[in-house]
Amino acid sequence: MEFVATQIAGFWGSFIGLASDPITYVYLIASVFLGIVFGALPGLTATLAVTILTGFFGNKFPLEHSLIALIGAYVGAIYGGSYPSILLNIPGTAASAATAMDGYPLTKQGRGGEALGITTTASFLGTLFGTLCLLIFVWVLLAVSKNIASPEKALLALFGILLSGTLMSQDLVIKGWIAGLIGLAMAMVGLDPILSESRYTFGWSYLLSGFQVVPVLMGAFAIPQIMDGLRATVMVAQVPQLGRIVPKFREVLRRMPAITRSGAIGTGVGALPGVGEDVAGWVSYGVGKASSKESKLFGKGSIDGLISAEAANNAAIGGALIPLLVLGIPGSPPAAALLGALKINNVIPGPTIDPALILHVVAILVLASLTMFIMGLFTARIFITILRIPQTVFLPVVMVLTTIGSFSVGGGINDLFLMIAVGLVAYTMNVMQYPIAPLVIGVILGGLFDETFRRSLLISDGDMSVFVSRPGAAILLALNVLLILSQIPAVKNGFRRLTGKKEPVA
Amino acid sequence: MADTLVMRRRDFWTALVLIVVSVFFLYQTSLIPFFDASAAGVQGAWYNSAGLVPFGIFSALLLLAIVLLFIAIRSTGMSGLASPRALGFTTTESERLICISAILASFIFCLVPRVDFIAASALLITALIWGFHSGDRIAMRISAISVTIAGLYALIAHFPRSEWTKAHDDDVVTLLSFACLTGIMFIRTARLDKIDRVVKLTPVIAIITPLLLVIAMAFGFRQNVPNRQGLLFSQIEYHYYVSLKPLWSGR
């Protein structure tokens, strides 16, 4: 009880500090607006919004202010993706793909305004739910993480990459793993973290410091979007009539069980290393379909279906920040961009993180979700107008933004060369259906994996049993092995035979 | 099923590329001391080697690439592997990608290091909007050619790093290229069809966006911007510090 009271008091102090500073609102309103625009425009993503802002804010602004802008854009973009999903049946972001399943049928029934209103409310409550979980679990996990040593860290980083590769792959799972390995390989470039031995620099001094996070993120997420999106576009002729957007209070109260369930699922999935909001939306939609009273309406215009997707993808934000703040392992691709911002400000997430920073993040999340809620309900028509901008107009502008953002962080032209090279590789990988998220997670966690894996062996004098002798490490090793085995067809078939289940028809 | 077959054919080639890449980097890794790793006078062991983790990564990559190759061969039966059509590539899509790649490569590798950022970005934005908005292949080709010409001029005339920020002839060529492209855009659109809102707005977006962005970054966000000695930005910076700033600082 004392713990809860301390948490609430700490959060309240941080919240009041932020809310009483006028500059907070300048950053918050601008960033949430920008985030919603990025989310609403198909072809732009939440990750891109956070990455571009990381480039702009870099390390020249106080971290407290940068975080307001980055988290505001993150919250806004995840929510903003619902606009084109509901009104045009085009998901603005991958996270809102499940939203289109019921959002667009509702629009066709002339209930677009109602769908937007309930989506805004569900997103707001979902974000608050995720934030509450962040406030509670981050401290529990921080207490646990004090017992996490190098072997556990190495295996957890590996698990994050493997899990991301497994869940984010749309084609063969092996492609997700390959993407993760390419990311890990990229992280090996430069001076190694223990002996300072130079690796794969080919005599180019720029590579001694390794691949910089921001140019890699910009290259991986912006360049493929630009290359893929620049094709003949048909302008959106007319956005359908909406009607009343502000939802009825009684209706929101009636939907609270669905919002709470989806918030819990979203937070849980978001907390898995490297997975993210899109998986959270689909998992919650699937669970909602199985458990909702109106499951027969799912896919035909169910409000419960809409809530399942939207409350979950926004709740995943709080979830994704839990492993980020506790272990330095991002829970989603936008969280990876946030980690980049923390890194360039010399903040090392983990057991030694400043507790005030965590409370600051929680307070920003609450304020950002409030801003999103108010903007979503009362200025929705502005965002609907923005939907009419064709992507062939805004993508070239994004290219210029990306270039100047990437240049500004490092201040060197080499960062731009790196960005375009990574971008071309990422585009090729997109065409070949390799997921990009595991690559980015690999780049970010590669250094941590290399250092902690070798340190574990160094401590144990090369004895591999260090990875099984500690209970935490043994569990994580088992999870890694099980994850790999679960994807091998022979093992899958053997398991099916054991459980007496029939092989699914292809 | 057809899409899966096309994907497996592509996987065959990507698996081969991945095998070559992983073998190359395994060789590179073998150059890192392994069994006698030492640094700063401290004798190490195999488990301390900087090559240990990369060796594992590239071995795993090689193994997965071989598995992918095996899956691709089993699924395709080695048929249609050399046919671009069977691999799902069309002439139109290939041309689109070549044009975009040429524009982006010219912008990043040739123009941004050497040419004024506002001029280079104006040319880029015009080329990308007009070249790809309507789906007109001629517009796409003209856009790619105009950016490539400006890029090649800058690259050839001022190749060494020491010359990147000196003369402004490449800035002028880029501005001319931007003006010509804008002119061609209006003439061709007027001939083919009525000039629509996107075409009318393109020059405005092309000039205003980089101008505002560079001013905001340099003087608002206090961030570094590319090519500060460029033809236009050097004038802006000069007048900001010499003409404008004294006005509001009361000097």
SS3 A302: coil
Question: From the CB of residue A401, how many other CB atoms can be counted at a distance below 10 Å?
Answer: 22
The answer to the question of residue A79 being in a domain is yes
Assigned domain for A501 exists: no
A163 pLDDT above the threshold of 80 = yes
Beta-bridge partners for B39: B42
A198's enclosing H/E stretch is strand A198-199
Mean pLDDT of A166-192: 92
- Write down the pLDDT at residue B37: 60
Q: Would the CB atoms of A454 and B45 count as touching at under 8 Å?
A: no
Q: How far is CA A348 from CA A352, B165, B179, in A?
A: 8, 38, 49
CA gap A397, A160 in Å, rounded: 34
Binary contact (A408, B45; C-beta < 8 A): no
A188 touches chain B (CB under 8 A): yes
At residue A239, the pLDDT reads 64
Range of the domain at A393: 2-231+241-469
ipTM score = 0.91
Residue ranges of A 58-117 with Cβ closer than 8 A to chain B:
58, 60-61
Q: Is the pLDDT of residue B203 over 90?
A: yes
Residue of B25, B71, B125 with shortest CB distance to A172: B71
**Is A56–B217 a contact, with Cβ atoms under 8 angstroms apart?**
yes
Q: How far apart are the CA of A408 and the nearest CA of chain B, in angstroms? A: 5
Q: What is the SS3 assignment for A88?
A: helix
| A497 located within any domain | no
The whole-number pLDDT of residue A130 equals 94
Q: Encode pLDDT of A334-373 as tens digits.
A: 898 888 888 888 888 877 788 888 899 999 999 999 999 9
pLDDT-derived band of residue A506, with 50, 70 and 90 as boundaries?
Answer: very low
Considering only CB atoms, which chain B residues are within 8 Å of A223?
A: 104
Cross-chain Cβ contact A400/B213 below 8 Å: yes
Provide the residue type at B131 as one letter. Answer: G
Q: Which residues contact B55 (CB under 8 A, 6 or more apart)?
A: B26, B29, B34
What pLDDT sits at residue B16? 96
Q: Would you say residue A458 lies in a domain? A: yes
User: What share of chain A has pLDDT > 70, as a percent?
Assistant: 96
8 A C-beta contact, residue B239 and residue A416: no
A218 and B CB contact within 8 Å: no
Given pLDDT bands bounded at 50, 70 and 90, which one contains residue B40?
A: low
Rank A491-495, B142-146, B221-225 by mean pLDDT and report only the highest.
B142-146
Q: Are strands B38-39 and B42-43 parallel, antiparallel or unpaired?
A: antiparallel
Query: Mean pLDDT score of chain B, rounded to an integer?
Result: 89
| CA gap B110, B5 in Å, rounded | 39
- What average pLDDT score do residues A427-432 get? 92
**Portion 160-179 of B in contact with A at CB < 8 A:** none
A90 lies in some domain:
yes
Please check whether residue A504 lies inside any domain of the structure: no
Cβ(A153)–Cβ(A273) below 8 Å? no
CB B139 within 8 A of CB B188: yes
| Structural domain boundaries in chain B | 2-76, 91-249
Does the beta carbon of B128 lie under 8 angstroms from any beta carbon of chain A? yes
Ramachandran bin of A243, using left for φ above 0, alpha for ψ from -120 to 50, beta for the remaining angles: left
Please state the rounded mean pLDDT for residues A443-468: 90
Return the H-helix or E-strand segment holding A431: helix A413-431
Of the candidates B7, B104, B133, the beta carbon closest to that of A420 is on B104
Q: Model confidence at B210, in pLDDT bands (50, 70, 90)?
A: very high
When pLDDT is averaged across residues B103-117 and rounded to a whole number, the result is: 94
- pLDDT at position B12 is 93
B17 versus A108: the higher-pLDDT residue is: B17
pLDDT at B1: 46
CB A52 within 8 A of CB A405: yes
Contact B28 A57 (CB under 8 A): no
Q: What secondary structure letter does DSSP report for A207?
A: G
Q: How many domains does chain A have?
A: 1
**Residues of chain B contacting residue A423, judged by C-beta atoms under 8 Å apart:** 104
Render pLDDT for B117-175 as a digit per residue (tens, 0 to 9). Answer: 999 999 999 999 999 988 889 999 999 999 999 999 999 998 888 888 777 789 999 99
Chain B contact for A392 (CB, 8 A cutoff):
yes
B103 contacts B53 by C-beta, under 8 angstroms: no
B96 contacts A450? CB cut-off 8 A: no
Residue A438's closest CA among A172, A223, A190? A172
Contact with chain A for residue B34, Cβ under 8 A: no
**Nearest C-alpha in A relative to B140:** A231
Contact partners, residue A25, CB within 8 Å, separation at least 6: none
A482 part of a folded domain: no
DSSP per position, A311-372? HHHHHHHHHHHHHHHHHS--SSHHHHHHHHHHHHTT---STTS-HHHHHHHHHHHHHHHHHH
| Residue bearing tokens 């001694």 | A208
pLDDT range class, residue A123, cuts 50, 70, 90: very high
CA–CA separation, B209 and A403 (whole Å): 13
Spatial distance between the Cα atoms of B5 and B76, rounded to a whole number of angstroms: 6
Which of A8-17, A287-296, B141-150, B221-230 shows the lowest per-residue confidence on average (mean pLDDT)?
B221-230
In a domain, A490, yes or no: no
Q: Which of A52, A199, A236, A416 to mutate to test the interface with B (most CBs of B within 10 A)?
A: A199
> Which residues in chain A (21-40) have CB-CB distances under 8 A to chain B?
none
The separation between CA A389 and the C-alpha centre of its own chain, rounded to angstroms, equals 25
A119, A102 contact by CB (below 8 A): no
What is the rounded distance in angstroms from the CA atom of residue A304 to the CA atom of residue A168?
Answer: 25
| Token representation of residue A222 | 């912006």
> A25: burial class by Cβ within 10 Å (0-12, 13-18, 19+)?
middle
| Secondary structure (H, E, C), chain B | CHHHHHHHHHHHHHHHHHHHHHHHHHHHHHCCCCCCCEECCEECCHHHCCCHHHHHHHHHHHHHHHHHHHHHHHHHCCCCCCCCCCCCCCHHHHHHHHHHHHHHHHHHHHHHHHCCHHHHHHHHHHHHHHHHHCCCHHHHHHHHHHHHHHHHHHHHHCCCHHHCCCCCHHHHHHHHHHHHHHHHHHHHHHHHCCCCHHHHHHHHHHHHHHHHHHHHHHHHCCCCCCCCCCHHHHHHHHHHHHHHHHHHHCC
List, in sequence order, every residue forming a beta bridge with B38; answer none if it has no partner: B43
Q: How confident is the model at residue A503 (pLDDT cuts 50, 70, 90)?
A: low
**What mean pLDDT is predicted for residues B208-212?**
94
Q: What is the pLDDT of residues A94-113, one digit of tens each?
A: 778 888 888 888 888 888 88
The strand pairing partners of A322, in sequence order, are none
Has residue B244 got a pLDDT over 90? Answer: no
Contact state of A390 with B198 under an 8 Å Cβ cutoff:
yes
For range A124-133, the mean pLDDT: 94
Q: Which of A196, A199, A400 sits opposite B124 (nearest CB)?
A: A400
Whether B87 contacts B6, CB under 8 Å: yes
State pLDDT tens for residues B65-98. Answer: 999 999 999 988 878 777 877 788 888 889 999 9
Three-class SS state of A199: strand
Contact B112 A407 (CB under 8 A): yes
**Across A267-292, average pLDDT:** 87
- Residue scoring higher pLDDT (A503 or A3): A3
Among residues 452-471 of chain A, which lie with CB inside 8 Å of chain B?
453-454, 457-458, 461-462
pLDDT in tens, A372-428: 999 998 888 888 888 878 888 989 999 999 898 888 877 688 989 999 999 999 999
- The whole-angstrom distance between B166's CA and the closest CA on chain A is 16
Report yes or no: A68 and A369 within 8 Å, Cβ to Cβ: no
Q: Tell me which of A217 and B183 has the higher pLDDT.
A: B183
Which range, A79-83, A405-409, B202-206, has the best average confidence (pLDDT)? B202-206
Bigger pLDDT: B148 vs A494? B148
Contacts of B162 (CB under 8 A, 6+ apart): none
For residue A60, give both structure tokens.
């020249």
CB A87 within 8 A of CB A240: yes
Name the closest residue on chain A to residue B89, using Cα atoms: A431
